Amino acid sequence: MMMALTGLLLLELSLYACCFVCGIVTAASLTIVQGNFGGRCMLYGLVSYNASADAIGIQSSSSQSLCYFVSAMSIMVAVVCFSLSLYWAYSFCIDGDIRRERLWMNLIVVVCGVFLFFLLITGCMLRIGRDQLCSSVTQTVPNITSCEDAQTRKWASPLKGGRFYNSLHKAETAAWVNFFFWIIIGGLVIYQRRQSSEAKVIAGGYGGPAGGLFGDPGVTAAETEPFFNRPARPQ
């Protein structure tokens, strides 16, 4: 049982490391897009087209707080995953202690639920915001049928739209992968909590006060009988 729990914990540790990478990729990709567009948040943005210069410009952009929210949530998830990875790595390599208290497992389940909620919102914002931007591009700019085509077109200075679609797609993909990994983490923690509870029940049944003859070989059957239910002694 201990070896099985250790293997599950190692799998959970590797998932934390993957979630850390996904969080950094989402935040970095979205920040790069903001930087290329002069700090504007292009999620749900609209573009314009200058026919004389044959250049794509920005008609409107979203509030910067929208992109900051997505980046902040991704970084927060990455920081928590990095901290948990360091803690368990320290426990394995230094202390050699792999015991998990039920309270901490319950806390991880709560954190998992919170992260899943915000990652779902983040993924939807990235998907819908990117689709609206791409719809504006294909409807406004002539001879363009997809956002990938817009990456090869000229953008009004100082805008740099060379890889905006690839970066937004990478950010969205990393967010959904992060969401999927946290579903697995939640399932692993719930399973480990259940296994830990069953192990305690089994240990209590064979070694605890209710263990009877199995709990203490030196105890006789007469001593384990209830006090008030003992048969009367013959007169």
Q: Is residue 65 domain-resident?
A: yes
Using the structure block, give the residue that is written with the tokens 């292009």. Answer: 42
Q: Is residue 193 domain-resident?
A: yes
Q: Which of 135, 167, 126 is nearest to 37 (CA)?
A: 167
Angle between helices 102-140 and 2-36 (to 10 degrees): 30
Angle between helices 102-140 and 164-207 (to 10 degrees): 160
Q: Summarize pLDDT for 118-171 with one digit per residue, the tens.
A: 999 999 999 999 999 999 999 998 988 888 889 988 999 888 888 899 999 999
226-232: average pLDDT? 49
Q: Is residue 209 domain-resident?
A: no
Which amino acid, residue 42?
Answer: M
Which amino acid, residue 152?
Answer: T
CB-neighbour burial class of residue 172 (10 A; exposed 0-12, middle 13-18, buried 19+): buried
Separation of alpha carbons 197 and 184, rounded Å? 20
Q: Is residue 91 domain-resident?
A: yes
Q: What integer pLDDT is reported at residue 205 of this predicted model?
A: 52
Q: What integer pLDDT is reported at residue 95 of this predicted model?
A: 61
Q: How confident is the model at residue 212 (pLDDT cuts 50, 70, 90)?
A: very low
Half-sphere exposure of 185 (CA within 13 A, CB side): 29
What pTM does this model have?
0.78
Q: Is residue 215 domain-resident?
A: no
The pLDDT of residue 101 is above 90: no
Separation of alpha carbons 178 and 176, rounded Å? 5
Separation of alpha carbons 188 and 9, rounded Å? 8
Q: Is residue 100 domain-resident?
A: yes
Worst-scoring range by mean pLDDT, 54-63, 161-170, 226-235?
Answer: 226-235
**DSSP state for residue 155 in the 8-state scheme:** B
Domain of residue 85, residue span: 2-197
Question: In whole numbers, what is the pLDDT of the chain averaged over residues?
Answer: 82
213-225: average pLDDT? 45
Q: Is residue 224 domain-resident?
A: no
Helices (H) and strands (E) in the chain — how many of each?
5, 2
Is 134 within 8 Å of 42 (Cβ atoms)?
A: no
Q: What integer pLDDT is reported at residue 113 of this predicted model?
A: 94
Q: What integer pLDDT is reported at residue 213 of this predicted model?
A: 38
Q: What integer pLDDT is reported at residue 146 of this predicted model?
A: 86
Q: Is residue 204 domain-resident?
A: no
Q: Summarize pLDDT for 197-210 with one digit per residue, the tens.
A: 655 555 555 444 44
Q: How confident is the model at residue 48 (pLDDT cuts 50, 70, 90)?
A: very high
How many domains does the chain divide into? 1
| Residues 6 or more apart in contact with residue 231 via CB below 8 angstroms | none
Q: Summarize pLDDT for 187-196 with one digit per residue, the tens.
A: 988 888 887 6
